[in-house]
Chains A and B, each alone.
Chain A
Amino acid sequence: MRPFRKASLLLGISQTMTYVLLTLASLVTLAPFYWLAVAAFKNKEDFFAYNFLPPGEGLFGVAWERLSLGNFTRIFTELDFANNILNSVFLASTTAVLSTITAAMGGYALARFEFRGRNLVLAVVLTALVIPAPLLLAPSYQLLYHLNLLDSYAGLLLPAVAPAFGVFLFRQTMLNSVPPSLIESARIDGCGELRTFFTIVLPLVRPMLGAYLMISFLGTWNNFINPQIILQDAEKFPLSVALASLQTAYRSEYGMITAGTLVSIAPVALLFLLLQKEFIRGLTSGAVKE
């Protein structure tokens, strides 16, 4: 066999193997979503009786008539689900916007300003990064109690708007993507510090802005522990807490939980579709020197 043919055959086999492995990985990832989507439409009797769709006489051997929108109707009628969605949207979007701006500002300051104590601040940020979040639950709770911020949105928002992870992430991005001469040029051109930040610096780190907005939005949207501990009034519950309240020691509404979960995934999936380009560019920025 000619070396050229041999090489191209090897390449073909390796590509086929790659696709087979990727397909398997996709199936493993998508299977729980499929299970969730199917479960949300099943009634109580069928929920544990069948793993996926109930068998029957219908198309593809499925008993389509046994599937219904009942679970979805119930979460919106028996629960204050619309309100919970609004709470989640409010909390996640406010946290995402505020934390992105403050993290970008903090990262910019640590990367491009020289001030007394800069290294100390950076050390504090790095220390905060390595402390596991559950360790901070009790002291945060105590602090919020003393500040009289329990059972309030402020109690959830304030600790989240200056995240150490975000500040550090933006610091690294600024070091790579914002040359000092651009900032100096803006100062000579007539920009004040705020205008330099918003007009020159932020556009330069746009990919990271998109990525961080999404990371922060997803983190808050999926956050269960903090709102569960800090909020007491059911009116203020976000989706995560409202859904968890369906499963107690005496009651487990699995159909409603799966329907609620499916609804709660929708905005996040939409956001990912909108920002996925920025997200991937943000995560890979700095990997290649431009």
Chain B
Amino acid sequence: MASVTLENLFKNYGDAKRPNVALKGIDLEIRDREFMVLVGPSGCGKSTTLRVIAGLEDLTSGRVIIDGQEMNHVLPRDRDIAMVFQNYALYPHMSVYENMAFALKMRRFPADEIRSRVESAAKALDITSYLHRKPHTLSGGQMQRVALGRAIVRSPRVFLFDEPLSNLDAKARVSMRTEIVKLHDRLQATMIYVTHDQVEAMTMGDRICVMNEGKIVQVDEPLNIYNRPVNMFVAAFIGSPQINFIKGRIVSEEGRSCFVEQNDDADALRFDIGEQLSLRMEAHRGKTLVLGVRPEDIYDQRRCTATQPTSQQFARVEISEPMGPETYLYLNTGAHPLIARVRSNDRYQTNEQLQFRMDLAKLHFFDAESGLAL
């Protein structure tokens, strides 16, 4: 297995006159045996980064290092990597067995070893029964298993996954997700996984690298990314339903520190942020900032048993979406829409007035201009 180091990667698809820069100085250290997930919106450069590691794209500048060895001028076949593509990329004229054996044949492995490796990988992925079938006779999930098998038989130093679950239906996606995590646990291999799906990122990665507009925004463990986003982009990108943002400022009112929504409306949010938060935000008092509150940190007053300090507000229920164990409430304070995620114990009527509370300990504050977390 191997570590992968990316040093100041730049990739310009255009030229000097008409630049089309996909990567703008990517620095990343992927540890040996780590499962690193690159996540971000379309066009953020995550797939380009993966393709650069694979050697499928040339770099404009920077260095790709695998296990201490610079790879910039090494051909894809000599990098000892395996890649699983979004559209499986199985050779349609070859059987499943031939697909899995192809890379080993190219490397002139003895026939016995090829057979034993393919059969062992097929057994592990439960695809033995269709080794002699052609790819077009398989379902999407089966094809992706074959694509995984084709990567495993090589025992490469690094596994690269380019949105491998995007083409699968919801059920197959969940099953393949756990399959890949188990595979990582079993093989203890270095894996780099590209996705735009935050659920995949949160559930699969040892660490997540959030990218936007060709740059890395934050690299950290999944829960740290969720609980301590470095800026509004990360806070908004990770988490579903999306975090609520409310622009306002912290002001002193009758000796107390209050957050006041920047809105002249009579229904504008206004609440006491408590002593602890007041101390933390002292330096930002009076400045325009953005409050971030995750939907699950908004509670229905009637069900609120939290002992921690909370704020108390009123809102009108616009839509209620029962999801089974929980319900998404689309609220309107009169000045601001909010999404809350509450337990499904109660039924909510449209236009019902709801008293809600926010968990003060879990509020996020961001600089209104830079978007950086405060």
Contact = CB atoms under 8 A, between A and B. Distances in A.
Interface of A: 179, 181-182, 184-191, 195, 200, 203-204, 206
Interface stretch (B17-25, B80-88, B219-227, B297-305): B80-88
B105 to A, nearest CB: 8
Name the residue among B75, B81, B91, B107 with the largest chain A CB count within 10 angstroms: B91
A110 to B, nearest CB: 19
Given A184-B56, A185-B83, A185-B85, A190 B107 contact: yes
A191 B89 contact: no
Contacts of B186: none
Given A179-B87, A200-B91, A188 B81 contact: yes
B92 interface: yes
A187 B56 contact: yes
B77 A185 contact: no
21 contacts: A181-B89, A184-B89, A185-B83, A185-B91, A186-B91, A187-B56, A187-B75, A187-B77, A188-B54, A188-B76, A188-B77, A188-B83, A188-B103, A189-B102, A189-B106, A190-B77, A190-B107, A191-B77, A191-B106, A200-B91, A204-B92
Secondary structure call for the B interface: loop
A186 B86 CA distance: 15
Given A188-B82, A188-B83, A204-B93, 5 more contacts: A182-B89, A188-B76, A189-B103, A190-B103, A204-B92
Contacts of B54: 184, 188
Query: Interface size class for chain B?
Result: 20 to 34
Given A188-B83, A190-B107, A191-B106, A179 B89 contact: yes
A181 B91 CA distance: 10
Contacts of B86: 181
Given A190-B77, A191-B77, A185 B106 contact: no
A113 B85 CA distance: 20
Given A188-B81, A190-B106, A204-B92, A181 B76 contact: no
Nearest to B151: A188
B276 to A, nearest CB: 53
Contacts of A203: 91, 93
A181 B54 CA distance: 12
A130 B132 CA distance: 47
